[in-house]
């Protein structure tokens, strides 16, 4: 049937004539008929080239076949010639689809934590890898090797080509945070001055007791463990990395002046608008030539990026920015009593927020705002907090040596 479709055939129909004689004569002349049906009329299929040979047979048998349908490749080509614009567009679509698939249209990054997409994209672009390049010029092995060389803290890189998408997956090395120095012994010393509330020693020797006052930098847990003999004399000193938990109750007094006069911005109401287009890091500015900047004035700049074109699969970077310049001047004015107390509260809350950010647990707090004179106001008070922080103080080798002269003198006295 496939060969018949390529050659082309017609479906014929006849209502009168000697069909039996017609079939015998077609068989005698080597004309193939198929799909023969006989109901109200005779219907059969015949190839195009055989249909042209049937003219003398039709004349003898007085059979008048009428073409009902035309099927096959030759007739399909004929219909295509009539609608050549549609079929040309159809072929052009697949050609363009194949042509565009030979380019890289998007670069995607996965797995980055500390590195931004822009930083990695600059690194990749420096390797002549960019959106819009031909896929045959893309070498994933070279990309992986170059990224590892330029960024040593990236432990693993995988560049994979998925159609027109280049996917670069990275894995960053774990930073060494809080790792102790190898072979170094240390004490734990006080971070702040205060009173010991609790001390728990896991390694080392406690140098203070609960309720004792300590100063900043004083040793709390010693990293030197004495080794005593049978007579309870120190025969050796062993160094360890001191470890434990120490809670300090600390008081912090504060006093800060509240400025009565304040310099504030005052907008004049004048605005200047400016539009910027950035194409491949080249900026083009469009502005109103009538409204110009006064260099003696000051402006606040409000920038709006609209729209964001960074993620579109285009072979160049395009950014549109709309800038609004608001003119302002500085005005010095005097705060009233309500504003002074509001500013004092703001300074006080800022101090408390800083204490919490430092990891301090606030136990109690008090503050007051007082008027010193007509021009000066003061906020003062104290904060009582719990400090859990300690710091390390590394032990020198000389601290682990025993003073032999003092030991000999002690033996002589005995």
Phi-psi region of 6 (alpha: psi -120 to 50; beta: other; left: phi over 0): alpha
> What's the pTM value of the predicted model, to 2 decimals?
0.44
Per-residue model confidence (pLDDT) at position 210: 92
Of 276 and 198, the one with more pLDDT: 198
Q: Which fold has domain 106-172?
A: Ubiquitin-like (UB roll) (3.10.20)
pLDDT band, residue 183 (cuts 50/70/90): very low
374/260 Cα distance (integer angstroms): 9
340/277 Cα distance (integer angstroms): 46
pLDDT in tens, 38-88: 877 888 888 888 887 888 888 788 777 878 888 887 777 777 777 778 778
**Domain coordinates of the chain in residue numbers?**
2-78, 106-172, 261-334, 337-390
Neighbours of 390 (CB within 10 A): 19
Phi (first) and psi of residue 124, to 5 degrees: -70, -40
Phi (first) and psi of residue 41, to 5 degrees: -135, 165
Q: Which CATH number fits domain 2-78: 1.10.730, 1.10.287, 2.60.40, 3.30.70?
A: 3.30.70
Neighbours of 325 (CB within 10 A): 18
Q: Running DSSP on this structure, what letter comes out for residue 137?
A: G
Is the preceding peptide bond at 207 cis, omega within 30 degrees of 0?
no
Per-state percent for the chain, helix, strand, coil, to nearest 5: 30, 45, 30
Helix, strand counts (H, E) of the chain: 10, 22
Residue 70, CA atoms < 13 Å, CB-side half-sphere:
11
Bridge partners of residue 103, in order along the sequence: 134
């Amino acid at each position: 049937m496939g060969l018949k479709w390529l050659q082309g055939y017609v479906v014929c129909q006849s209502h009168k004539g000697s069909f039996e004689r017609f079939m015998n004569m077609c068989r005698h002349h080597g004309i193939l008929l198929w799909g023969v049906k006989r109901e109200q009329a005779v219907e059969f299929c015949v190839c195009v080239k055989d249909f042209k040979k049937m003219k003398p047979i039709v004349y003898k048998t007085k059979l008048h076949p009428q073409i009902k349908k035309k099927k096959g490749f030759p007739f399909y080509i004929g219909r295509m010639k009539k609608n050549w614009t549609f079929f040309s567009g159809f072929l052009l679509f697949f050609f363009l689809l194949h042509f565009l698939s030979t380019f890289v249209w998007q670069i995607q990054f996965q797995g980055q934590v500390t590195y931004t997409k822009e930083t990695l994209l600059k690194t990749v672009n420096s390797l002549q890898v960019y959106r819009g390049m031909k896929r045959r010029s893309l070498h994933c092995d070279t990309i992986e090797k170059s990224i590892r060389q330029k960024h040593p803290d990236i432990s693993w890189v995988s560049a994979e080509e998925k159609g027109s998408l280049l996917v670069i997956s990275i894995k960053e090395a774990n930073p060494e945070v809080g790792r102790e120095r190898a072979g170094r012994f240390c004490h734990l010393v006080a971070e702040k001055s205060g009173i010991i509330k609790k001390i728990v020693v896991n390694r080392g020797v406690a140098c203070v007791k609960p309720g004792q006052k300590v100063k900043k930098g004083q040793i709390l847990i010693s990293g030197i463990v004495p080794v005593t003999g049978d007579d309870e004399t120190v025969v050796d000193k062993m160094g360890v990395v001191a470890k434990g938990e120490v809670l300090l109750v600390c008081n912090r007094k504060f006093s800060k002046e509240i400025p009565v006069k304040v310099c504030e911005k005052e907008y004049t109401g004048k605005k200047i608008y400016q539009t910027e287009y950035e194409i491949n890091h080249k900026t083009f500015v469009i502005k109103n030539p009538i409204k110009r900047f006064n260099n003696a004035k000051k402006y606040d700049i409000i920038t709006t990026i609209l729209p964001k074109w960074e993620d579109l699969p285009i072979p160049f970077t395009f950014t549109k920015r709309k800038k609004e310049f608001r003119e302002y001047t500085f005005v010095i004015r005097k705060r009233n009593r309500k504003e002074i107390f509001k500013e004092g509260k703001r300074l006080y809350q800022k101090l408390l927020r800083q204490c919490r950010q430092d990891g301090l647990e606030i136990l109690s707090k008090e503050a007051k705002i007082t008027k010193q004179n007509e021009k000066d106001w003061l906020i003062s008070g104290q904060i009582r907090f719990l400090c859990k922080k300690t710091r390390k103080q590394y032990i020198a080798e000389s601290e682990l040596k025993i003073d032999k002269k003092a030991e000999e003198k002690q033996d002589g006295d005995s």
